[in-house]
Amino acid sequence: MESATSQRPPDTTRSPHEIARNFRSFILIWVAQLVARIGNGLTAFGLGVYAYQLTGRSTAVALVTMAAFLPGVLLAPLGGVLADRFDRRLLMILGDALSAIGLLALLLLIQAGIGNVAIVCACVAFSSIFTSVMDPAYRATISDLLTPEQYARASGMVQFASASQYLISPALAGILMSWFGIGLVLLIDIGTMAVTTLCMVLVWRTIKSTKPVAERGFWADLRFGVAFLARNRGITVLMLLVTFVTFCMGFLQTLLTPMLLDLSNEEVLGVVRSVAAVGMVVASLAIGIFSMGHRHINYIAIALAGSGVVTLLMGATMNVLLIGAFCFIFFMMLPPLNTSVEVLVRASIPNETQGKVWGLMGLISQIGYIVAYAVSGVLADYVFNPLLVSGGALADSAGALIGVGESRGIGLMLIIVGVLLVGTAIVMTRVKSIRVLEENLKNQTLESTR
């Protein structure tokens, strides 16, 4: 989508000295956020491993993941409102400082020997609440500091910082967890938040304070988005498709930790997660270099089918090297899938209503993660894993093909998810309303080239 900022003329209200000073301030904040994202990734990985080591249950991993994820989803609209109505400088400082309090409390409780799963979830949720308030303020601050000509560059840097928690943190956290345990991981994350807070204090004078704005009718925008989706079946189908993909990713994200910990150790798990994230980077770079053309339905179908096949193979094997390779391929499939969905949807939504519809679609698509986190651990621990332990109901049938063990039920779950993804790919190519979206895109492209 072409943003509103791309329509603006060059900023002539700031002197070259002010523009340069503001960009230096942005760089300082960005470096601090990069460090903080790496720290967040360390904690996310470390607490998942810690919860599983504490209980031996996939449900514990799912609960901790849910506690970290859910507040951000539910409070994202509130965080955006606060960023527009209050001092963004203060929101960023308070967000990091108060988020660190939750982790500090968790560290002290663990050191005191009372760090059970319920306490971990409570402290993580508390920390996530304030992170969700800080993040919209951080992104909005880019507009306060930079000129429209610098937005694209800044956006790329922000996305890289966000990706660092998946590229760097898992491998590093795996090493730290195996040698030092969860205490050092939490301490490092707390330290990164302190660095971010200090950097914000240093650039306090550079960032302008924002004035409160009038309420913009959140519920009216929500009703408009719902009505728009109801009128446009193709977009609704694509939205549901994305929700299903996030549901499958939620299963993989939650269950990969217990499955690999049963087959290997924390270090191997960390390396596999980091290598998988590299797959996303490789595919994203390829998309940036080579044109995808207009056959986006084919890209979606191939990506869904490919991700389904590798997920199925991931569940069928107990070889850690193969699981790592399949994870890499799975995450390679996501950028072309996401890009094609985004292009089709953006081309079908009027520019003046993009914000309303995308906001609703983003919220609904996250439901897939929430449902997966809620049910994946319970299904693994109480339904599928008992079927494939020695003497289990499926030990002599399915177990003869994929193996028998404490986490082989998770393997069976991944096989089922893979089959569902392949089935979705086949069905999607036959949906007429989605093909209409692609035809609209082709027509718009032809008109723009005349």
Q: What pLDDT, on the 0 to 100 scale, is given for residue 209?
A: 59
Q: What pLDDT, on the 0 to 100 scale, is given for residue 183?
A: 92
Question: Residue 129's closest CA among 101, 156, 88?
Answer: 101
pLDDT digits (tens, 9 = 90+) for 291-334: 676 777 888 899 999 999 999 999 999 999 999 999 999 988 98
Q: What pLDDT, on the 0 to 100 scale, is given for residue 316?
A: 94
Q: What pLDDT, on the 0 to 100 scale, is given for residue 122?
A: 93
Question: Residue 238's closest CA among 369, 246, 76, 375?
Answer: 246
d(CA 255, CA 276): 15
Question: Residue 255's closest CA among 38, 394, 420, 406?
Answer: 406
Range from 251-265, 385-399, 421-435 carrying the lowest mean pLDDT: 421-435
Question: Are 442 and 293 in contact, with CB atoms under 8 Å apart?
Answer: no
Question: Residue 430's closest CA among 308, 247, 337, 300?
Answer: 300
d(CA 297, CA 429): 7
Kindly report the pTM of this predicted structure. 0.79
Question: Are 311 and 200 in contact, with CB atoms under 8 Å apart?
Answer: no
Range from 84-93, 189-198, 228-237, 397-406 carrying the lowest mean pLDDT: 84-93
Tell me the mean pLDDT in the region 177-197. 89
Q: What pLDDT, on the 0 to 100 scale, is given for residue 68?
A: 87
281: pLDDT confidence band, cut at 50, 70 and 90? Answer: confident
Residue 217 DSSP SS3: coil
Amino acid at 131: T
Question: Is the pLDDT score of 162 beyond 80?
Answer: no
Question: Are 140 and 88 in contact, with CB atoms under 8 Å apart?
Answer: yes
Tell me the mean pLDDT in the region 96-119. 89
Q: Dihedral (C-alpha) 113, 116, 119, 125: value to the nearest 10 degrees?
A: 130
Question: Is the pLDDT score of 212 beyond 60?
Answer: no
- What DSSP state is assigned to residue 383? I
d(CA 102, CA 136): 20
- What domains does the chain contain, in order, with CATH numbers? 13-216 (1.20.1250.20), 217-450 (1.20.1250.20)
Top-confidence residue, 417 or 241: 417
CB within 8 Å of 306: residues ≥ 6 apart = 329, 333
pLDDT digits (tens, 9 = 90+) for 389-426: 999 999 999 999 999 998 899 999 999 999 999 998 98
Q: What pLDDT, on the 0 to 100 scale, is given for residue 260?
A: 93
**Residue corresponding to tokens 């949906």:** 431
Mean pLDDT of the chain: 81
d(CA 173, CA 180): 10
Alpha helices in 146-232 (DSSP H): 151-167, 169-180, 182-202, 218-231
**Within 13 A of 23's CA, how many CA atoms are on the CB side?**
15
d(CA 69, CA 333): 23
Question: Is the pLDDT score of 242 beyond 90?
Answer: no
Top-confidence residue, 169 or 3: 169
Tell me the mean pLDDT in the region 353-372. 76
Alpha helices in 264-295 (DSSP H): 266-289
Q: Write out 77-125 in H/E/C secondary structure.
A: HHHHHHHHHCCHHHHHHHHHHHHHHHHHHHHHHHHCCCCCHHHHHHHHH
Question: Is the pLDDT score of 7 beyond 50?
Answer: no
Question: Is the pLDDT score of 378 beyond 50?
Answer: yes
